[in-house]
A and B are shown apart, each in its own frame.
Chain A
């Protein structure tokens, strides 16, 4: 018998590549899920990794940093919070639809 694969319909589930914790330190929701305000996970509600290596839902950390009492510090380690990869953040912040 001769067998050839013509078409392969694969299925994959994406998740955030997070080394440590699996929940956002601010909203306590899993990274794979959304912040407490969003409905759809993924591009609509991306994550943000700090230089201190703490990650949050982008919406969560933004609203945290907007508070004056936060003094622009990471809520986990109290170091000044800076995004590790500015470019990636902006890319993820906009809903990603294919150019086609």
Chain B
């Protein structure tokens, strides 16, 4: 309510029909009667008793003008003492409007005072001291009734006026002293005693008694405020005092701050919290009242809050210690979270101070998080969560740590687990074939954990990549790499890509296919929200993931060697599932490793393209010349330096084929003068029509298989060809011949039969046509032997990469010396490692060996001061 409104309401009431006397004596004041009288002070805005609740004035509002007639009217008023006394402009009902300070006609203002003095002179002749004593007797008796909570049998209005008169006669000081002394006796006496009686009982009982006493005291103050209203306003207010303050202070200093009671009361409230913490029923009303009382007595911050925080600290510390010791990491995280939640919820429900909430939160975080870092970042327990892919537990853990900005402290444990798990996969010699799928699965899980559990923390993102980089580049001379220290992941990644490019979408392992992904995972990967994928997207998506792994591999030379071999096979055998996928992979490699890396690969594609053009031109010329060809010949002409090196395997080519090949060679030489062709028969494949007793088939076979099969042409099914004959007739060296015979007579599909049966080829074996050979399909591929890498081939590739690494290292050393002229040993080693990283570094002793070799070859020399110098 604004001060204007208050003032208006104030004035309206003065014009009530009823006399002021009637108002006071009638005892009908709703605010006075009953058990909870409202004291004038209780109408202060703080306590929310609105003036609107005051008894409604029967009259409608008067105009301001009529109000100001009041003083002149009063001039003609009867001189009755009662009316004179009560006619003070500040007469009592006005205080129901509460806002005393803003009422214009307050006792403190000068104008009305003059009036009052006039009125007193003719009527007052009594000695003030006697008047005080007489009046006080009545007041004192009334106070006794109030304190004893007896029936109110006196007129509050009369007492009010009595006090007013005392004040008007300049004895307010005495009145105040008497009142305070009276109150003090009561509070220090019966009221305090009601609390003290509980001292032998629980803290909560002491608190309850205190709250009871506080309620009683507040009710009693209601009457006191009525009676001493005038004192309050005219005497105390100008001195910045108030009855309310004085009486509250009395309760506080005598009861609350009493040495024996104080801590018991405060602890009573703390005990209520303890009861709640123990999960028992909290007397919510009582706790609310206690908090309100502390606030009203202004002891919350000084007495309650520190004690409550002290207890909380002990409690939180104990539970943190207990739970961290007894519970597993994820359980502890949950307990810590729920403890914080319930503690803060209590503070909020009871609207405890912001400072309490802040301090409580600080101590919660301190004890549950900061001081339990060792537990929260425990290597083993954290590892278990990663092992179980416990995304939610990990999220809770990270969020908890992040309250204190400690999430990054998971870094060492995170990296350790990744390195350990990754190393185990990379060096699992029994399951090398599954390496890439396992790495991809692991990477995908960790990415999800990073995105969801770790909120894409940049520190942990770096940790993830660093850890992958570490284990992916660990090398070990092992059987898996033929005792070279080549990177096995480089090889396996190349082979995995080969599998994808040969097989397309259907080659994607089930556990990595997006179709089998859980919807939650798909949702998590926001960048790929589309749930429906076509095959190309599937394959491309897989290639991206593999490349993601490949990016971690420092030495790209191993990958390159194997990738090149596999690409060569795909190109020469026409085994690529999609030319688009091939191109997109090439583009990726170019981006990732630079154009130098892909130059040879591009030339391989170019050779195939040129060969296709060459063949169509050759065929056109043949047609123009009307030449007949018994066999449809296709030739891929390679630029040898860009392709893998292939050994030339000696073999006797059947005449019919030799004729065709020679024709083409003559054409080629004529067209490209100065060139020669080296035929790589081991790479050739062909289509053969074969009439078996049980039906005609078209076979896709390797050239060697075809050459062997041709030897059976026209033979009856029971005619045996022995091993020696086959060896003579094909001219193949035994290892090649054995592989070829094995693929024809010992595999799943067997156009030939070996005698005697068995998996291994022996020089004493003989072979016949398989009279029972049949298959549901007409066209059958049996040249897979050609597509498979042999152990010898694998060994050769690894050894060559390892040897190349020595040459590349030497070349790097020479380049460094050319640029630096003179350099120390350690600098040279460091520089060499730096520049060879992308291809594959040797260990320090390997680099040292190559330095020595270069010294032998006199590319550099070791000077007297120990520096190396370049020999121009």
B173 within 8 A of A: no
Determine if A70 is an interface residue (Cβ-Cβ < 8 Å): no
Known: A1-B712, A98-B613. A14 touches B638 (CB 8 A): yes
Contact, CB under 8 Å: A12 / B636? yes
> Knowing A5-B657, A7-B631 touch, does A39 contact B599 (C-beta < 8 A)?
yes
Contact present for A12 and B715 (CB under 8 Å):
no
| Measured CA separation A71–B346 after assembly (Å) | 100
* Given A11-B684, A40-B606: A49 in contact with B637 (beta carbons within 8 A): no
Is A42's beta carbon under 8 Å from chain B?
Answer: yes
Residues 106-122 of chain B, each 1 if its beta carbon lies under 8 Å from chain A, else 0: 00000000000000000
Residues of B close to A11: CB separation below 8 A: 572, 635-636, 638, 679-681, 683-684
A6 touches B637 (CB 8 A): no
- Distance in angstroms from B337 CB to nearest chain A CB is 62
Chain B residues with Cβ below 8 Å from A12 are: 635-638, 665, 677-680
Q: A3 and B684 in contact (CB under 8 A), knowing A8-B660, A14-B676, A98-B617?
A: no
CA separation between A29 and B637, bound complex, in Å? 21
Tell me, yes or no, whether B671 is within 8 Å of chain A by CB: yes
Q: Does A10 contact B (CB under 8 A)?
A: yes
Let me know if A2 is at the binding interface, CB within 8 A: yes
> Which one of B616, B656, B687 has the greatest number of beta carbons of chain A within 10 Å?
B687
Question: Does A53 make an interface contact (CB < 8 A)?
Answer: no
Tell me, rounded to whole Å, the shortest Cβ–Cβ distance linking B127 to chain A: 128
The answer for the CA separation of A96 and B606 in the assembled complex, in Å, is: 13
Nearest neighbor of A85 in chain B, beta-carbon distance? B673
When distances are taken between beta carbons in the complex, the residues of chain A under 8 Å from B713 are 1-4
Evaluate contact between A7 and B634: CB separation under 8 angstroms. yes
Chain A residue numbers with a CB within 8 Å of B710 are 3, 5
* Interface residues of chain B: helix, strand, loop or mixed (majority): mixed
| Chain B residues positioned under 8 Å from A13 (CB to CB) | 637-640, 643, 646, 677-678, 680
A97–B614 alpha-carbon span in the complex (Å): 8
Shortest Cβ gap from B125 to chain A (Å):
130
Q: Which of the segments B46-54, B230-238, B275-283, B689-697 contacts the partner chain?
A: B689-697
- Per-position binary interface string of chain B over residues 651-688, scored 1 when its CB falls under 8 Å from any chain A CB and 0 otherwise: 00010110011001100100111111111110111111
Assess the A5–B641 pair: CB atoms within 8 A.
Answer: no
Q: Does B643 contact A5, Cβ atoms closer than 8 Å?
A: no
Please indicate the chain A residues that have their CB under 8 angstroms from the CB of B660 in the complex. Answer: 8
Question: Assuming the A-B contacts A1-B769, A2-B714, A40-B606, are A9 and B616 also in contact, with contact meaning beta carbons closer than 8 angstroms in the complex?
Answer: no
Nearest-neighbour CB distance to chain A for B701, whole angstroms, equals 10
* Cβ–Cβ contact B616 & A14, under 8 A: no
- B142 in the interface (beta carbon within 8 A): no
**Contact status A47-B674, CB under 8 Å:** yes
Chain A contacts of B632 at CB under 8 A?
6-8
- Taking CB as reference atom, which chain A residue is nearest B632? A7
B600 → A minimal CB distance (Å): 9
Q: Is the CB of A14 within 8 A of B640?
A: yes
Tell me the chain A residues, 38-62 only, with Cβ under 8 Å from chain B: 39-43, 46-47, 49
Chain B minimum-CB-distance residue to A39: B599
Q: Which residue of B lies closest to A15 (CB)?
A: B676
In the bound complex, do residue A6 and residue B678 qualify as a contact, i.e. CB atoms below 8 Å apart?
A: no
- Tell me if B633 is interfacial: C-beta within 8 Å of chain A: yes
Q: Give B residues with C-beta under 8 Å from A.
A: 572, 599, 603, 606, 610, 613-614, 616-617, 620, 631-643, 646, 654, 656-657, 660-661, 664-665, 668, 671-681, 683-693, 698, 703, 706, 709-710, 712-715, 717, 769
7 closest residue pairs by CB, A with B: A98-B617, A11-B683, A13-B640, A2-B691, A12-B677, A7-B687, A98-B613
